Amino acid sequence: MKRNASRKTGLLTAGLAVYLLLVLWGSTGWFPKSWQQVPSRMPIYQYSPPSREHPLGVFFQQDLLITFVRSTQASFVAGTIALLPFLALGTLLGIASGLPAGFAQALANRTIDVLNAFPRFVVLLLYTGLFAANLYHMLMLYGLISAPKLAELLRGRIDQLRREDFIDSCVALGLPWWVIVRRHILWHHSRHLILAQTFAMFAMAIFMEASLSYLNLGTREHYQSWGLMLNYATSVSGLSLFRFPLSAQFNLPAALPALGLLSVTLLLVSLSRYWEQQDRLKMGRMF
């Protein structure tokens, strides 16, 4: 048991360390001067191999390592921007739709139905067509329109828990409903579910950011993206996306976001397993 726990704690620490390192590095924007100095006469899509000044080489007139870190930052920003409205609206709708029948419940249920009625990607394209394309706004919108996924799961959980005796007992002992929802339902019985949805959403947001960038939707001045690199790869160099394997330099920008995503996944999975193990111990179950 002890060995198992230490392995999980190790995973948690490793995930947290990689995550913090990438986010901090990306957010500070600090890089050695030698990395930032690129020969100006170099053709735009020529790849220069690794050297002492540029550990991963140069491509698109940029140091590849800088590109990697910035693209990681872009991915994390994308994930976080989509995640916040997703969690806020999803939890709110889930709680409201799990309440006893009434106006709030009906409103929440109809909102979920309406949001579910439209394909998410089409809504994003419509938004781009109607308003100026801004990647941040689009990712926020993506978070909002994905919220029903979380809300429906929470509604089911609340429906199930409302039949449990200990919830009846809480009501009978006069605990306010928001305390019951926050403490007894959300935190102690639904946190695995919220966590699982969180990392699924994080990955989906990064994928969506890459897809939108590939389609040249959104502002892309300040950072690089996997989707944007692939777009360059297909348009500038004339490579087909379906011709595999693509040159390493076109796929490498995906490496760090993927590593970052892996670290987040490790972090969340470890946390989920840790909670699961704790809950099992609390319930007195060995398996």
Q: Which residues bind other proteins (CB under 8 A)?
A: 100-103, 164-166, 168-175, 179, 183-184, 188-189, 279, 282-284
| Residue closer to other proteins, measured from CB, 113 or 164 | 164
**Residue carrying structure tokens 């419940």:** 105
Residue 138 · residue 217 · CB < 8 Å: yes
> Nearest to residue 233, comparing CAs of 216, 221, 251?
251
What's the token pair of residue 57? 């080489």
CB of residue 191 vs other proteins: minimum separation in angstroms? 10
Is the peptide bond preceding residue 176 cis, with omega within 30 degrees of 0?
A: no
| Residue closer to other proteins, measured from CB, 22 or 185 | 185
Label residues 116-143 b or e (16+ Cβ within 10 Å = b).
eeeebeebbbebbeeeebebebbbbbbb
Rounded-to-10 torsion of CA 140, 222, 26, 199:
20
CB of residue 101 vs other proteins: minimum separation in angstroms? 5
CB of residue 165 vs other proteins: minimum separation in angstroms? 4
- Give, for 63, the enclosing helix (H) or strand (E): strand 62-63
| Residue closer to other proteins, measured from CB, 7 or 280 | 280
| Residue closer to other proteins, measured from CB, 7 or 183 | 183
- Helix, strand or coil, per DSSP, at residue 284: coil
CB of residue 282 vs other proteins: minimum separation in angstroms? 5
CB of residue 179 vs other proteins: minimum separation in angstroms? 8
| Residue closer to other proteins, measured from CB, 186 or 264 | 186
| Residue closer to other proteins, measured from CB, 265 or 277 | 277
CB of residue 100 vs other proteins: minimum separation in angstroms? 5
Name the phi and psi angles at 239, rounded to 5: -80, 150
